[in-house]
């Protein structure tokens, strides 16, 4: 019997990747680097600073900036990203998410968020689902990002569930690897790519049967 659910944010609860893309593309352009949507795919689930490092390396500009300059660039990107989120609302929840969270609440299943995003609390509030979560892991407290299992282990611990009794929901390969390394059941959510190692893959949350999942 499963006792807790751990959710990634971007790509699982809502699709913020398109806004990350616009903000990174503009920043990269200002540095003379052109990125496309395929490159943006490689940034999913990756922290803000690691994303910047990947972009600079892609444009062969990795040795051109001090740490302070890179922090300013990351801040500039985030300022634009946050502006793009201004109109985010409940209508931006991915299909089936609200229903699934409401059912989890009815079953008294605690839920937490394991996202690399420092903007997660603000985004969840705008989406109107913040109250469904007992805990949001602060990515600043982590030693390693996904695919390391640390974030998932913390997310389970904070809602009082042992990893073996938890189910993790992810849209990125690195996330699925982290969930499995944490010793949890992994549900992959993607309509476009096959997530290797997922115990179950669906194209959207509308396909999930909570009663069935709980008995796994």
CA distance 194 to 196: 6
- Phi-psi category of residue 45: left, alpha or beta, with phi > 0 → left and psi -120 to 50 → alpha: left
- Of 216, 146, 147, the closest CA to residue 185 belongs to 216
Site residue total, Mg ion (CB under 5 A): 6
- Of 210, 13, 215, the closest CA to residue 98 belongs to 13
89 is in an annotated binding site: no
Instruction: Give me the helix-helix angle, 48-58 and 17-30, nearest 10°.
Output: 50
Residue 119 interacts with which of Mg ion, ligand B16, none, CB < 5 to 8 Å by class: ligand B16
Q: Which is nearer to ligand B16, 3 or 20 (CB)?
A: 20
Cα angle, residue 170 at apex, residues 164 and 174 outer, rounded to 5°: 90
- In the list 48, 135, 154, 180, the residue contacting ligand B16 (rule: CB under 6 A) is 48
The catalytic residue positions are 8, 10
With contact defined as beta carbons under 8 Å apart, do 120 and 14 qualify? no
For residue 136, the SS3 value is strand
Neighbours of 216 (CB within 10 A): 11
What is the residue whose two structure tokens read 């690691």? 50
- In the list 14, 112, 119, 201, the residue contacting ligand B16 (rule: CB under 6 A) is 119
At closest approach, how far in Å is the CB of 202 from Mg ion?
Answer: 15
Q: Which is nearer to ligand B16, 108 or 194 (CB)?
A: 194
Does position 112 bind ligand B16 by CB under 6 A? no
Residues of span 123-182 touching Mg ion by CB under 5 A? 171-172
- In the list 78, 84, 98, 214, the residue contacting ligand B16 (rule: CB under 6 A) is 78
Binding site for Mg ion (CB under 5 A): 8, 10-11, 45, 171-172
Q: Which residues bind ligand B16 (CB under 6 A)?
A: 8-11, 20, 43-48, 51, 78, 115-119
Binding site residues, as ranges?
8-10, 24, 43-48, 51, 77, 115-119, 146, 170-171
Which residues define the annotated binding site for substrate? 8-10, 24, 43-48, 51, 77, 115-119, 146
């Amino acid at each position: 019997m499963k006792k807790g659910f751990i959710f990634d944010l971007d790509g699982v609860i809502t699709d913020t990747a398109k806004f990350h893309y616009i903000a990174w593309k503009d920043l990269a352009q200002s540095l003379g680097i052109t990125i496309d949507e395929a490159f943006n795919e490689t940034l999913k689930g990756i922290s803000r600073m690691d994303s910047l490092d990947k972009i600079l390396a892609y444009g062969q500009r990795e040795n051109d900036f001090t740490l302070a300059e890179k922090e300013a660039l990351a801040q500039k990107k985030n300022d634009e990203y946050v502006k793009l989120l201004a109109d985010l609302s409940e209508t931006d929840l991915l299909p089936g998410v609200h229903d699934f969270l409401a059912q989890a609440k009815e079953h008294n299943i605690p839920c937490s968020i394991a996202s690399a995003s420092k903007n997660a609390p603000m985004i969840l509030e705008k989406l109107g689902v913040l109250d469904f979560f007992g805990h949001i892991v602060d990515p600043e407290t982590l030693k390693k990002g996904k695919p390391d299992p640390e974030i998932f282990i913390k997310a389970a611990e904070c809602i009082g569930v042992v990893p073996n009794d938890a189910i993790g929901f992810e849209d990125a390969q690195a996330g699925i690897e982290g969930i499995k390394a944490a010793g949890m059941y992994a549900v992959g959510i993607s309509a476009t790519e096959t997530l290797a190692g997922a115990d179950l893959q669906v194209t959207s949350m509308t396909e999930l049967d909570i009663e069935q999942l709980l008995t796994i």
